[in-house]
Structure formats: C-alpha cells, structure tokens
Amino acid sequence: MIKSILLVDDENLFHLVFEDACSLLDITLDLRTLSSAESAEELFKVWQNDPTDKPECVFVDLNIIGSAFDGIELVRRINYLYGNGVVVGIISSSADQAEINRSVLAGSQFWIVKSDEIEPRLEAFREDYDKYKDRTKDFTVYK
Amino acid sequence: MKITLSQESEAQIILASEKRNVFLEGNILKLLETENESFQEYLNKALELDTEVRKKRLDITKKFQDQNKSLQEKATENEQLMVEIREALEKAEHAKKTALNDLDVMQQKSQFELIGSIVQIALRVIVGVGIIVTGMYLFAMYSQSTETTLIGNTWSNLFGILLTNSFSIIGTIMGVKYATNDSGSKEKKDEQ
C-alpha cells in the first residue's frame, strides 16, 4: 500500500472516482486532492523546508483548467525546483505521444490514461510502485 | 498503524448497528484491530457495506463524468454551430446589401436611360421645329413674300417658346437627377 498520495486535478468528480478506486483497491489510506497547480506548488514550497506531510506519490492531471501552468510544468517544478523526493507522474485522458515525451523530459515516471476503466491501470501501477520508489523502473504508460 | 478500541466502545458500536443499523464507514475500518470475535464480525460486515457503497458511488460518479463529458462536447458543438450561424447570417446580410445596391444601381441606370431618351427626343423635336420654321422664314425672305413680318414674328415667338421649353426640360432633368442622387445618398447613410 502506498503511504500517501496527492492528486492534482481540476475535475472534482474525478477526485471522487480516484478516492473510491484507491479505497476499493487498497492503494492508499491517505489521499489528498487539489484542484489547481498553483496550490500544489505552494505546498511543495512548504515541504521543501518541512517535509512532514509530504506525500509519497503525486498524480498530476495534464490540463489543469484554471491554473497558470499545466501538469507537465508542475512535474518539472517538483523535480527541478522543489527537490523531488516523490514518485510523480501524469494522469490524463490524453495519450498524445508528443505530450508523453514532454512529460518524460520534465521527469515524469509514469503516465496513466484516464478512462471509465481506471481501476485495472491503478492496480498495474500499484504492482510496479515499489520499483518506481526505488527508481529502478523505466517510464511506463498505463493504457 | 493499527487502532484498538476498548471493549466498552466495541460493544457500543455493535449495539448501534443492531438497534439503529448504523455502521462505521471509510478507511478507518481498515485501521481497526480487535481480538473480539463479534466485533471482528461487525468490522467484516461494515467493510462489506462500505465496499458496496463505494462501488455504487464509483459507478454513479463515472456515469456523471460521462454525462458531463458528453454535455461539454455538445456545448462545444453548439458553440461552433452558433459561430457558423452567425457567419452565415453575416454573409446573408452582406449579400442582401450587395443585391440592394445592385438593384439601386440598375434602377438609377434605367432612369438615366429613360431621361436620356426623353432629352434626345425633346431636343430633336426642338431642333426640327427650329429648322423647319427657320427654313420657312428664309424661304419667305428669298421669295420676297409679303408675309415675312408675320413669319418673322412667328419665328421669334416660336423660337422663344422652344428655347423656354428646352431650358424647362433641362431644368426638369437636372432636378430629377439631383433628387435621385440625394435619395441614393440618404439610403446609403441609413444603411451605415
């Protein structure tokens, strides 16, 4: 089980889907959800000095509507500005190869394609999670 | 990290489920630990109910998500249609203005053509009458007719009348032309 997860996604309905899927699949007991990239960035600024509540894994939506920058830019900032220290990747309904390549350059470790059947992808991700944590698994797209 | 409740608390929680059908729910159930068999049974049942509720909620939320997506797609389509309709209306409006202008030009052209014909005919009549009367006057003078004074007076009267008429025609034509131009420019101003 993953100790704690942060989900950054503008779609509140997906927060519920993700929460229920995580609970049903025993992925985590500690899930935090945010709706904007800016609020996530603010928290990472705080966690840079005091990592007490820092999550173990971060799922970032690709297009966070209402935010000044997209999910890939948030991943880049987490990796290059705020000291990383988390398993971080993109969760998006898109599977555009150009965006996927961009996310790899930003330091994303995985890409999960959002759809009606999110549970099998999350299960597969859970299986691989320890390798992501050890940084022994290459970037993977869960389609 | 596991949580163990006191025996009294466990008994109260079980009692609440039996008497009021109220169960604990959520992730807290996964943290509770007990050696009490009946409370373990309660926890199993509560977890089962919680899973059922979550599955139902997950299904409903997914349906809502789908509906939201299709609504958003339809809204985008509608927006696009509205843009297309607006463009088509603008084009139709432009075509209407062009057609009205063309019609106006055609009307003016036919009016000018008519005026031109009237002027030509009127001038030909004036010139014709002038030539005939002048010819008659000259003939009378060369044939040493005694009626030259009468024809001379008639000639000058006729010529005066003809000149007056021709100026009157030219005045009328100019008036019509001015009025046509004025109404045309007013219409254009109204359109703007």
Per-residue pLDDT of chain B (192 residues; tens, 9 = 90+): 789 999 999 999 999 999 998 999 988 998 999 999 999 999 999 999 999 999 998 999 888 888 988 998 999 999 999 999 999 999 999 999 999 999 988 888 887 788 778 878 877 887 888 888 788 778 877 887 776 777 777 778 877 887 787 788 777 777 766 766 665 565 555 555
Q: What angle do CA A74, A117, A11 make, to 5 degrees?
A: 40
Do B31 and A29 count as a contact with CB atoms less than 8 A apart?
A: yes
Partners of residue A33 on adjacent β-strands:
A7
> Which of A10, A11, A13 would you mutate first to test chain B, the one with the most B CBs within 10 A?
A13
Total domain count, chain A: 1
> Which of A17, A24, A26 lies nearest to residue B62, judging by beta carbons?
A17
Q: What domain range includes position A108? A: 5-142
Paired tokens of B118 = 């009237």
Q: Tell me, what DSSP letter sits at residue A25?
A: T
Strand-pair category, A57-61 with A110-113: unpaired
What is the ipTM metric for this complex? 0.75
Smallest CA–CA separation between A36 and chain B, in Å?
A: 19
- Residue B114, chain A, CB below 8 Å: the answer is no
- Nearest C-alpha neighbor of A72 from the set A56, A55, A96: A96
Partners of residue A5 on adjacent β-strands:
A31, A57
Do A24 and B54 count as a contact with CB atoms less than 8 A apart?
A: yes
Interface of A with B (CB under 8 A): 11, 13-14, 16-17, 20-21, 23-24, 26, 29, 116
Within 8 A of B57 by CB-CB distance, chain A residues are 16, 20
Give the Å distances, CA to CA, from A117 to A69, A92, A140, B51, B58: 28, 13, 18, 17, 11
Within 8 A of A13 by CB-CB distance, chain B residues are 61, 64-65, 68
| Residue A102 neighbours by CB under 8 Å, 6+ apart | A72
Q: Look up the CATH number of the domain holding residue A52.
A: 3.40.50.2300
